Structure 1
Amino acid sequence: MTTFVDRVELHVAAGSGGHGCASVHREKFKPLGGPDGGNGGRGGDVILVVDQSVTTLLDYHHSPHRKATSGRPGEGGNRSGKDGQDLILPVPDGTVVQDKDGNVLADLVGQGTTYVAAEGGRGGLGNAALSSARRKAPGFALLGVPGGMQDIVLELKTVADVALVGYPSAGKSSLISVLSAAKPKIADYPFTTLVPNLGVVTAGSMVYTIADVPGLIPGASQGKGLGLEFLRHVERCEVLVHVLDTATLESDRDPVSDLDMIEEELKQYGGGLDRRPRMVVLNKIDVPDGKDLAEMVRPDLEARGYQVFAISAVAHIGLKELSFALAEVVGQARAAKPKEEATRIVIRPKAVDDAGFTVVREDDGLYRVRGEKPERWVRQTDFSNDEAVGYLADRLARLGIEASLMKAGARTGDGVAIGPEENAVVFDWEPTVMAGAEMLGRRGEDHRFDAPRPASQRRRDKQAERDESDQEFDDFNPF
């Protein structure tokens, strides 16, 4: 029997980008033909995709660590590295994606809905892509960016139109088995149902889904019994149906008190469950005492405003009327529901005045620079290459970091860190008027990469040199 898992913690890591290549084109009679290093490939993403054939998160419970493949490095001859392959993770319909703090990142509903849980790292540019009119021969390439990593929580909330709620052994599993083609486990003892069961019901032209939620007991909203684990599966349902046992053998229970208890648990759980449309089903009227009790409590329940149905799931009594009544209520709920996208993905746009980085002076006097661009640029820099370091200095200066450091009060020799504490690049700041790379000279200019002169031009130059030499001899010849 397949184990049902509806909540897991998943550790995802995207693939890293491949490094760019620093290469020079060489061939016969053209030993220095210009830069031809290719770009590194992009790392693969980790993507969650709704697959309705998947009904449980069991696979991720056993294997919670998932990683996409990395991009390949670039090569000479302008050959770019191969991109990493995306990792597709199928999840059940109705999966909610949260971070470890409980913030909702995405609510995935509908076949094929996708969410990128971790983005692959960018591939580094090769020196061919870095060349320009001012930088004809870059002697460096950019490194690939590490892939994104994230710890997420996947929580499954059953997608159904109708939810059957009630005490254990009230007959919910029996009812869903006769209304639909579902085949739940049925037995006469508490907590027979250990997983939510889902069935499809057809009533005339209306087709709707019905879920059998595991039995609730007093204190379920505080974690007692199985209720807290499965109350989340009721949140998406449009209609709640109280299944009340009229033939219970427990002397301290009756249908009205059972209803009051379940209503209190729904209210305590929250999520608007206490405001959903409701119906009451008095089950087991095939038992003589059960039929008498149903007739006794029915007027009281109808006086509270409930639509009440007396049925027997075992004897198939009153099922047709119940099925069509549920179809009508579901149709009304669907019509009243505002038209909107079922899938909800949280997007947090940047502010319009966002400079792309922040400069903060910490208690120890260190100036820390944080921002997506400067941190990514630092990760892409090969610090063993002076030219690459100069290129980084140029980029940081154009972004405005040097000006911000001056504004924040930084002085020569002050420590500056770029990135978070656990993975920062720290250096002593040297303010300059020009970008640091310009102090190294005009980067990338190498006379060896100048185009060679044609043979005819070389012959004319040599003849001009001989003519000039003959003229100098004639000027000094006394004869």
Structure 2
Amino acid sequence: MTTFVDRVELHVAAGSGGHGCASVHREKFKPLGGPDGGNGGQGGDVILVVDQAVTTLLDYHHSPHRKATSGKPGEGGNRSGKDGQDLILPVPDGTVVQDKAGNVLADLVGQGTTYVAAEGGRGGLGNAALSSARRKAPGFALLGVPGGLQDIVLELKTVADVALVGYPSAGKSSLISVLSAAKPKIADYPFTTLVPNLGVVTAGSTVYTIADVPGLIPGASQGKGLGLEFLRHVERCSVLVHVLDTATLESERDPVSDLDIIEEELKQYGGLGDRPRMVVLNKIDVPDGKDLAEMVRPELESRGYRVFEVSAVAHTGLKELSYALADVVAKGRAAKPTEEATRIVIRPKAVDDAGFTVAREEDGLYRVRGEKPERWVRQTDFSNDEAVGYLADRLSRLGVETELMKAGARSGDGVAIGPEENAVVFDWEPTVMAGAEMLGRRGEDHRLDEPRPATQRRRDKQAERDEAEKEYDDFEPF
């Protein structure tokens, strides 16, 4: 049964926003007290959070579909709907988030590091929020926006200070077992270790982690053995340690050729050329192993390697090795900044960016794409003529109608707003003015009017003129 999983595909869905409410306040002797529909609640986000207590992605292997809760709809009496709860997904330290194409979305290192994998949909505005001096009694509300959907790949790269690399049965697991309190599986046959082992070592005042990479053989970087599956776990290490078997029974192998082969595989994998290296000649408790170690040590040192002769079985040379590793780890930590500055990427919009695009497709259909138009369409209740007119006003003020004319659209041409799989398509009829101006004053109910002094009427007129210049999207408090 699988107990260690370091790569999963996860399907996440954020919560949808609640619908706004269209309601009119009524009480005794005042049957039309004005709009009082509340806003819908915000949908919950799906958030990945690094948790040191989590060491595997096994839970997501068994349950790859995760969804946050949606916001509740608004109610009358200016009662807003309850926001949906965020879904918190704990992941191991060192988890890399990618899209299905392999593009890195986030690299999660450090306790508490977060990444919003899917954003919750915004709640729709109620008619109380949509009311104004010129639209006193809206008979509609905005719908909630559906939550974001995303398919992501989670890939775990072990966060260790020291990585042990070498052929199967070179003694990597034995070294970890005697240097730390880890208890990996140890046997005298190849590929005993099927998952990376991680141990904690204390040497003086330095505490560091040590991990091994199972299954490195010639061709590992191309997928042979288990190397390609686990080479990612050495990417974050401070130092690479070659564990070489000096007592191998295979006549075609020797420590120097083993080192050359493993180095070539690391080179083919890439990204590890700047890591300091050490060499451990293991199994010197065997007489032939001791002799071979003394023979190859001068050549390895001439290449610039720091060489240690050890025996995991006899516990020989382990203290010197652990303190040498601690010294390299401490120097690596000192070279890194204690606090990394937060990197903020600012991508300002171009001065001529209208916020949407209009393109004519091969079949003659005009497609409108843009964050605002697509969101507005999703918020519109097309069974309500007033809501449709409000959408027309917003699109006209944004300049969509003008751009359609520039693109060559004519009366009766098909226009689609949104992507192919989820678009609203209609036959376009150009207008001279937006719907509200043509119909008079949409959303106004003269039964709500009361006699006003001349001064108040002038103020209201000025307020209407000022409001007419505003972008309708300004009414949304998000």
Please, what TM-score do these two structures have when normalized by structure 2? 0.92
Q: Flag the 1:352–1:54 CA change in 2: closer, same or farther, 3 A.
A: farther
Equivalents in 2 of 1:251, 1:478: separation in Å? 75
Following superposition, the deviation at residue 341 of structure 1 comes to 3.9
Gaps of 5+ in 1: none
Q: Deviations over 1:14-53 (max 9, x none)?
A: 0000100000001111111000001011111000000011
Following superposition, the deviation at residue 414 of structure 1 comes to 1.4
Equivalents in 1 of 2:97, 2:220: separation in Å? 24
Q: Flag the 1:301–1:446 CA change in 2: closer, same or farther, 3 A.
A: same
Kept in 2, the 8 Å contact 1:98–1:152? The answer is: yes
Equivalents in 2 of 1:313, 1:467: separation in Å? 82
- Backbone CA RMSD of aligned residues: 10.2
Following superposition, the deviation at residue 467 of structure 1 comes to 43
Equivalents in 2 of 1:318, 1:260: separation in Å? 24
Gaps of 5+ in 2: none
Kept in 2, the 8 Å contact 1:57–1:91? The answer is: yes
Kept in 2, the 8 Å contact 1:19–1:143? The answer is: yes
Q: Deviations over 1:38-76 (max 9, x none)?
A: 101111100000001100001111111111111111111
Following superposition, the deviation at residue 110 of structure 1 comes to 0.4
Look up the SS of the partner of 1:471 in the other structure.
coil
Following superposition, the deviation at residue 447 of structure 1 comes to 1.5
Kept in 2, the 8 Å contact 1:198–1:211? The answer is: yes
Q: Flag the 1:200–1:473 CA change in 2: closer, same or farther, 3 A.
A: closer
Q: Flag the 1:207–1:131 CA change in 2: closer, same or farther, 3 A.
A: same
Kept in 1, the 8 Å contact 2:133–2:460? The answer is: no
Look up the SS of the partner of 2:273 in the other structure.
helix
Kept in 1, the 8 Å contact 2:367–2:416? The answer is: yes
Equivalents in 1 of 2:476, 2:424: separation in Å? 71
Equivalenced residue count is: 478
Equivalents in 2 of 1:315, 1:477: separation in Å? 73
Equivalents in 2 of 1:191, 1:268: separation in Å? 21
Look up the SS of the partner of 1:308 in the other structure.
strand
Q: Flag the 1:76–1:177 CA change in 2: closer, same or farther, 3 A.
A: same
Kept in 2, the 8 Å contact 1:16–1:120? The answer is: yes
Q: Flag the 1:436–1:230 CA change in 2: closer, same or farther, 3 A.
A: same
Following superposition, the deviation at residue 318 of structure 1 comes to 0.6
Q: Flag the 1:465–1:46 CA change in 2: closer, same or farther, 3 A.
A: closer
Kept in 2, the 8 Å contact 1:390–1:440? The answer is: no
Following superposition, the deviation at residue 474 of structure 1 comes to 61
Q: Flag the 1:187–1:447 CA change in 2: closer, same or farther, 3 A.
A: same
Kept in 2, the 8 Å contact 1:216–1:226? The answer is: yes
Q: Flag the 1:298–1:30 CA change in 2: closer, same or farther, 3 A.
A: same
Equivalents in 2 of 1:396, 1:30: separation in Å? 36
Following superposition, the deviation at residue 409 of structure 1 comes to 1.5
Equivalents in 2 of 1:140, 1:380: separation in Å? 11
Equivalents in 2 of 1:330, 1:465: separation in Å? 69
Q: Deviations over 1:422-441 (max 9, x none)?
A: 11111111222211232222
Equivalents in 1 of 2:477, 2:374: separation in Å? 76
Q: Flag the 1:288–1:459 CA change in 2: closer, same or farther, 3 A.
A: closer
Kept in 1, the 8 Å contact 2:133–2:464? The answer is: no
Kept in 1, the 8 Å contact 2:394–2:471? The answer is: no
Kept in 1, the 8 Å contact 2:167–2:217? The answer is: yes
Q: Flag the 1:350–1:96 CA change in 2: closer, same or farther, 3 A.
A: farther
Look up the SS of the partner of 1:209 in the other structure.
strand
Greater C-alpha Rg: 1
After TM superposition, the runs of 4+ consecutive aligned structure 1 residues lying more than 6 A away are 342-349, 452-479
Farther-moved stretch of structure 1 (345-354 vs 135-144): 345-354
Following superposition, the deviation at residue 333 of structure 1 comes to 2.3
Q: Flag the 1:476–1:110 CA change in 2: closer, same or farther, 3 A.
A: closer
Following superposition, the deviation at residue 344 of structure 1 comes to 8.2
Farther-moved stretch of structure 1 (303-312 vs 437-446): 437-446
